[in-house]
Amino acid sequence: MSSINLKKVVKFYGKTEVVHGIDLDIDHNEFVVLVGPSGCGKSTTLRMIAGLEEISDGEISIDDTIVNELPPRKRNISMVFQNYALYPHMSVRENLGFGLKIAKQPEAVVKQRVSEAADILGLSELMDRTPAELSGGQRQRVAMGRAIVRHPQAFLFDEPLSNLDAKLRVQMRTEIKKLHQKVATTVVYVTHDQVEAMTLADRIVVMKDGYIEQVGTPMQVFNHPKNTFVASFIGSPPMNQLPARIEGQTVVFDDGTKLPVPGHLADKVREGQQVIFGIRPDDMTPEGHGIQETGQSTILELKVDLAELLGTETLIYTSLAGQEIQGKMFDPRDVSPGEVLKFRVSLDKAHLFDAATQQSVSVG
């Protein structure tokens, strides 16, 4: 139940600066997910919070106490790693209680905390098994249980699900979410998977190359990405992004195709501005196969290059101004390559980014 604050935190490995003075305020009981491509500095940031890496400059505080010099065990936070390394010769019960025993907690406390964690995680029936007798998901739960028994002020998760197969990953994701609802505590969670970030987070921190690109609720970063990087990283399939130029009230693409400037962005652009026009595949739907066709929209006739059937929807690959883009057909029918479809482009959902800065013209 701690707040965690990072002030201008810098990390050098040797002479290489990998985290460039980041600021971040995490509230009590907040579930914050650090997300970004491999190498962007997520794990380093998490490890600095845990005290496993020294910080090169700046300040980290937990509950208003600066912890820069405090060793990990004094920070009262628990870390759950991707590689959950349980003790193979110990039972689940012993694995859960081991850390507390080492910390010389009285036996009654160990027993009570272990049984409480087992209850929370649904491990009570498995207490006498060894890790070899557990499924991957059950082992992951024991690893989380080891963190829970310490009653930490905050949990830090470093890609905890990336060793699990796809189905189990989804299941464990739900369990972690439920766990956070049961055990009100601060969580900082690192992943490269934007779906995990969207589904778990109260707030998402999108990182790139050692910088924070945007902090916001899942809805904010999805609906109002600050720049082209966030726009393409959050959301799957990624947002279509096409270079264009503003001419009067129109967006003109490189091949001369024109669309009206979206009404909500009309006063955010200037004549002649080079822009990137962004539209998510969900907001480009063949007529009669969209989910919402109420706001400002326009029609583009485009030829289908490829259709991917996904069940309740079909992903349609087409191209505009020489660039591949994707649309989505909901309530789908069979579609063949070469077919020309009338796509309704929901302009009220469209984005514009300045081509030079790659920053949104409307999100500050």
Q: Which residues bind ligand ADP (CB under 6 A)?
A: 13, 18, 36, 38-44
Using the minimum distance from each CB to ligand ADP, give the nearer residue, 42 or 141.
Answer: 42
**Nearest distance from C-beta of residue 38 to ligand ADP, angstroms:** 4
Nearer to ligand ADP, 36 or 262 (CB): 36
Given the complex with ligand ADP, which of 48 and 149 has the nearer CB atom?
48
CB of 16 to ligand ADP, least distance (A): 7
Which of 221, 184, 180, 216 is CA-nearest to residue 200?
180
Query: For ligand ADP, which is the closer residue by CB, 12 or 87?
Result: 12
Question: Would you state the structure tokens that stand for residue 118, as one six-digit string?
Answer: 């087992």
* Pick 36 or 51: Cβ nearer ligand ADP: 36
Among residues 24 and 121, whose Cβ is nearest to ligand ADP? 24
With respect to ligand ADP, which residue has the nearer C-beta, 82 or 296? Answer: 82
- State in angstroms the smallest separation of the CB of 232 from ligand ADP: 17
Compute the least distance from the CB of residue 243 to ligand ADP, in Å: 29
DSSP string, 16-48: EEEEEEEEEEE-TT-EEEEE-STTSSHHHHHHH
* Structure token digits, residue 231: 């726009």
Q: Which is nearer to ligand ADP, 40 or 363 (CB)?
A: 40
* Nearest-approach distance from CB 229 to ligand ADP, in angstroms: 14
Q: What is the nearest approach in angstroms of ligand ADP to the Cβ of residue 72? A: 16
Residue among 91, 162, 181, 182 at smallest CA distance from 129: 91
Q: Shortest gap between Cβ of 36 and ligand ADP (angstroms)?
A: 6
Whichever of 19 and 363 has its CB closer to ligand ADP, that residue is 19
Between CA 281 and CA 283 the distance in angstroms is 5
**Cα-only R_g, the chain:** 24
> 3-class secondary structure for 328-349?
EEECCCCCCCCCEEEEEEEHHH
Phi, psi of 171 (to 5 degrees): -65, -45
Instruction: Bin 58: left if φ > 0, else alpha if -120 < ψ < 50, else beta.
Output: left
Closest approach of ligand ADP to the CB of residue 84, in Å:
17
| Closer to ligand ADP by Cβ: residue 41 or 281 | 41
* CA 125/CA 75 separation, integer angstroms: 32
Secondary structure of 155-181 as H, E, C letters = EEEECCCCCCCHHHHHHHHHHHHHHHH
**Least Å from the CB of residue 353 to ligand ADP:** 24
* Of residues 173, 185, 90, 83, the one with CA closest to residue 134: 90
Strands 323-330 and 250-253: unpaired
How many residues are present in the chain? Answer: 364
85 dihedral zone (left: phi>0; alpha: psi -120 to 50; beta): left
Residue 14 CB, nearest distance to ligand ADP (Å)?
7
Report the side by side order of strands in the sheet with 258-260: 258-260, 250-253, 240-247, 274-279, 351-354
